[in-house]
Structure 1
Amino acid sequence: MSYQWPTLSDWLEQLAAPFYQQGYVVLEQAIPADLCEALYQDVLQQQLTAAGVGRHGQHQLDKQVRRDQTCWLDGDHPVQHQYLQLMAKLQQDMNQRCFLGLIDFEAHYARYQQGDFYQKHLDAFIGRSNRVLSTVCYLNAVEQGGELVLYDEQDQLLSKVQPKAGTLVVFESCRFPHEVLPASDTRYSIAGWFRHNSSIQGRIDPAV
């Protein structure tokens, strides 16, 4: 696997225009190659655990819905901090360009091994979550399987994204249903969410 591509100096500009027009964007080689490789090496050292579904007391494991394993980024490791700083730049830029009022970002590593998938779902529901933008950053490339599939509000196919190191996907959390197709080879990514406040009607929207 090669982590060699030129660093994009205008990656924010390349993200902003298509996002403003269609609410989602797929940008290859958005993440610097050295950072992407360092993140890949970092995730290999982490203890990932089976991911669940649901919130509050309804949070549970359901392997009929998803079978990936995750580990939250805490920013203590230098390379994690570097990635979070990069996302902070994106947050600032999207606030300036699109007036989204984003104030927070959370993210976790995700591993999909052979046969793992995540059924079609939304990351947020209007009035029930404060997630505004969803992000996916791929840390390695696979030949086939594990694609992220985006759908529009009418459930029509928008994009099928092949996992490729350095690719960054950004989309509106409550607008686009999406799924991860069954993986053939192990793929690693970072899933993240930008938020516009810390609570809804006095209740904290938990990071699960």
Structure 2
Amino acid sequence: MSPPPEALCVGDNRIGAIADDLATKGWSWQPGLLPDALTSALRAELIVRDAASDLGPAGIGREDDFHVDRSVRRTRITWFDGSTPAQQDFRGWTETLRNALNRELMLGLFEMEVCFAVYPPGGFYDRHLDSFAGARNRVVSLVAYLNEDWDDARGGALAVWNEGAGKDDAPAARIIPQPGGVVLMLSEAIPHEVEVTQETRYGLAGWWRVNQSGVGRIDPLS
């Protein structure tokens, strides 16, 4: 039987650190935040799905502007559908985090979309934002790393810039994708890129948006 979401909760001290980071610099790196058992279960599912060719090439842009450009992004993804215990446990864990961040920062985070992501050797994703300013389709981004171990020699680091940084500015941080580590970012504000990886790099990415219900439109979209 899968553990209840309460067993996957992050501690209050980590919540406070994440909230403070998002409020002051717009991003937060939390090593080992994702519980070990959940990291292992998600990794096992992703490896099986990838071996079965269940992942497709990731694109860039949204809706009418969506296209695949392997000069900008080289990775494979598949979207969560909530059909497995690991996905359900991850959803429960992120719900705990969502409620805590809404309480601390009054962000109004609502629905999350999530995908598995595999960066093969030579994979990368050039510097980008996860959402256009004011779009509100993505408000807070969450990235979690699923490999068993990792070091800088294997490549695939996440470079993060502070809000407003120019293209020639050095990144504020280079984050090594250590197992169970989680990065949270303000989707409309924080530029970031995945450097070229030397080995297969497993992870997932999720994005919370706000409730955009209004006249003629009812959220959630799913």
Relative to the length of structure 1, the TM-score reads 0.88
Q: Deviations over 1:123-150 (max 9, x none)?
A: 0111234211011000013332111111
Q: Which residue does the alignment assign to 1:125?
A: 132
Q: Which residue does the alignment assign to 1:98?
A: 105
Distance 1:199 1:55, change over 3 A: farther
The answer to whether structure 1 residue 29 and structure 2 residue 32 are counterparts is: yes
Which 4+ residue blocks in structure 1 deviate beyond 6 angstroms? 199-205
The 1-side partners of 2:191 and 2:141 are apart by 11
State the aligned residue count. Answer: 200
Relative to the length of structure 2, the TM-score reads 0.83
The answer to whether structure 1 residue 149 and structure 2 residue 155 are counterparts is: no
Q: Which residue does the alignment assign to 2:144?
A: 137
Contact preservation (8 Å) 2:58, 2:76: yes
Task: Give the gaps of 5 or more residues in structure 2.
Answer: 1-8
Contact preservation (8 Å) 2:134, 2:188: no
Distance 1:74 1:198, change over 3 A: farther
The one of 177, 180, 184 equivalent to 1:170 is: 184
User: How do 1:42-191 residues align onto structure 2 when only pairs under 5 Å count?
Assistant: 42-46=45-49, 47-140=54-147, 141-143=149-151, 144-152=154-162, 153-155=164-166, 156=169, 157-191=171-205
Q: Which residue does the alignment assign to 2:3?
A: none
Question: Alpha-carbon deviation of 1:154?
Answer: 1.8
After the TM superposition, which of the residue ranges 135-144 and 101-110 deviates more from structure 2? 135-144
The 1-side partners of 2:139 and 2:194 are apart by 20
The 2-side partners of 1:20 and 1:75 are apart by 31
Q: Which residue does the alignment assign to 1:194?
A: 208
Question: Alpha-carbon deviation of 1:107?
Answer: 0.7
Q: Which residue does the alignment assign to 1:38?
A: 41
Distance 1:150 1:204, change over 3 A: farther
